């Protein structure tokens, strides 16, 4: 993976500059992916220099999640401004490895939507969404700082700016770094202005030294060898790992090929079974039509219904139909209105109900024939007497 945001500072040490707006200049998802990648290649220290007004909450969550799950130490440094969601990113570093330069500022406030804060949102749906986001951020503060949930909520509502001492007091950081000179920060400066005047951190603070790592010692620990292991013995262990890896990859490829072949075979067999099932259903429908129990014009809908209920259920339904089909809908459409009395006899009503069931709701008709024999008999007798 090509690193877009991180640079290598030495053996196992990588550094990221979080300057700008998350979700715009800073892609939180990509940064999180790089943190995860650095862990897979054995990074020891991942240093995140923060100078940002904040930005997209979800982008910030991505970085926080990767920080909290990192095996490598996450060193967070507030280099000027840790605004909004970036104050939570600052707090998500490894305990004991979170820093702030003495002139830095952190901002804790409610989330907003298109510049409108939680308190001023009128849209109830958006207000509900922002409230959920706020509670997630509150949980991050409560889990990674000295703040309780109630205190975090209160500070977010108040839109609090914290200097370096307050950042340490509330547990966002563990240590304050002294500056060799201070940027020109004045009262009533906007968050963006503070971020901009602190942009070149190297002017204000001495370089943080990259820790020296004994490469042979680290490799010895990795392969569970003694500290005085020779390069040759370490190389032999590495060659064993490469050989085992190749064997594992070959087995995976063979397994994947076998599984793919099995899947193709199963799909072909299923298609063959479906073909014969459909043939049997079509044959049963044709037989039912030829016996006079259904009309030819209903063939396609009968086939579809037979597929839905299954061949066995359809055949049972046909067996229980002692009468020939009558196109009642057509009959009702074409007959004189004078024939259709407003006061239909019970027998007429039951007969027409049964015709409607066997035409439009065969599954219900089948259920009645199985589960309500008395009602079924009443329906059939009434239907047979329709003139």
Catalytic amino acids?
84, 109
Q: SS3 breakdown of the chain: % helix, strand, coil, rounded to 5?
A: 55, 15, 30
* φ/ψ (deg, to 5) at 243: -65, -45
Selection from 10, 77, 64 nearest residue 35 by Cα: 64
H-run or E-run covering 106: strand 105-108
- The CA distances from residue 94 to 46, 58, 62, 233, in Å, are 10, 21, 16, 34
Task: Of 161, 117, 97, 109, give the one whose Cα is nearest residue 137.
Answer: 109
* CB-based burial label for 138 (10 Å; 0-12, 13-18, 19+): buried
What is the phi/psi pair of residue 254, to 5°? -65, -40
CA distances from 133 to 18, 58, 147 (A): 22, 9, 18
- CA dist 299 and 303 (Å) reads 6
What gap in Å lies between CA 340 and CA 335, rounded to an integer?
A: 8
For tokens 């943080």, the residue is: 208
Contact 326, 355 (CB under 8 A): yes
Q: Which two tokens stand for residue 377?
A: 């008999």
* Residue closest to 78 by CA, chosen among 107, 35, 45: 107
- Taking the C-alpha atoms of residue 86 and residue 78, their distance in angstroms, rounded to an integer, is 9
State both tokens at 39: 């862990």
């Amino acid at each position: 993976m090509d690193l877009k945001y991180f640079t290598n500072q030495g053996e196992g040490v990588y550094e990221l500059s979080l300057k700008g707006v998350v979700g715009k200049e800073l892609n939180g998802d990509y940064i999180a992916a790089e943190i995860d990648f650095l862990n897979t290649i054995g990074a020891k220290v991942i240093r995140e220099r923060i100078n940002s007004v904040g930005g997209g909450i979800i982008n910030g969550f991505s970085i926080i999640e990767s920080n909290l799950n990192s095996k490598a130490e996450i060193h967070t440094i507030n280099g000027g401004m840790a605004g909004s969601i970036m104050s939570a990113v600052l707090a998500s570093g490894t305990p004991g490895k979170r820093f702030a330069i003495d002139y830095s500022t952190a901002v804790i406030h409610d989330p907003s939507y298109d510049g409108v804060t939680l308190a001023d949102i009128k849209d109830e749906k958006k207000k509900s969404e922002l409230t959920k986001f706020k509670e997630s951020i509150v949980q991050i503060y409560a889990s990674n700082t000295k703040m309780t949930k109630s205190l975090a909520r209160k500070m977010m509502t108040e839109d609090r700016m914290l200097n370096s001492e307050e950042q340490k007091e509330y547990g966002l950081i563990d240590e304050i770094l002294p500056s060799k000179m201070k940027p020109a920060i004045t009262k009533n400066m906007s968050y963006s202005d503070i971020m901009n005047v602190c942009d070149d951190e190297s002017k204000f603070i001495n370089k943080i030294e990259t820790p020296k790592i004994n490469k042979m010692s680290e490799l010895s620990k990795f392969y569970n060898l003694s500290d005085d292991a020779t390069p040759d013995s370490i190389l032999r262990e590495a060659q064993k790992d490469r050989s085992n890896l190749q064997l594992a990859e070959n087995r995976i490829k063979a397994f994947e090929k076998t599984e793919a072949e099995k899947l193709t075979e199963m799909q072909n067999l299923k298609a063959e079974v479906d073909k014969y099932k459909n043939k049997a259903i079509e044959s049963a429908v044709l037989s039912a039509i030829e016996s006079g129990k259904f009309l030819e014009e209903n063939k396609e809908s009968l086939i579809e219904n037979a597929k839905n209920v299954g061949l066995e259920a359809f055949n049972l339904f046909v067996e229980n139909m002692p009468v020939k089909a009558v196109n009642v809908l057509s009959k009702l459409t074409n007959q004189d209105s004078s024939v259709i009395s407003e006061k239909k006899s019970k027998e007429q009503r039951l007969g027409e109900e049964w015709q409607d069931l066997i035409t439009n709701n065969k599954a219900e008709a089948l259920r009645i024939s199985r589960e309500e024999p008395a009602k079924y008999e009443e329906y059939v007798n009434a239907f047979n007497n329709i003139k």
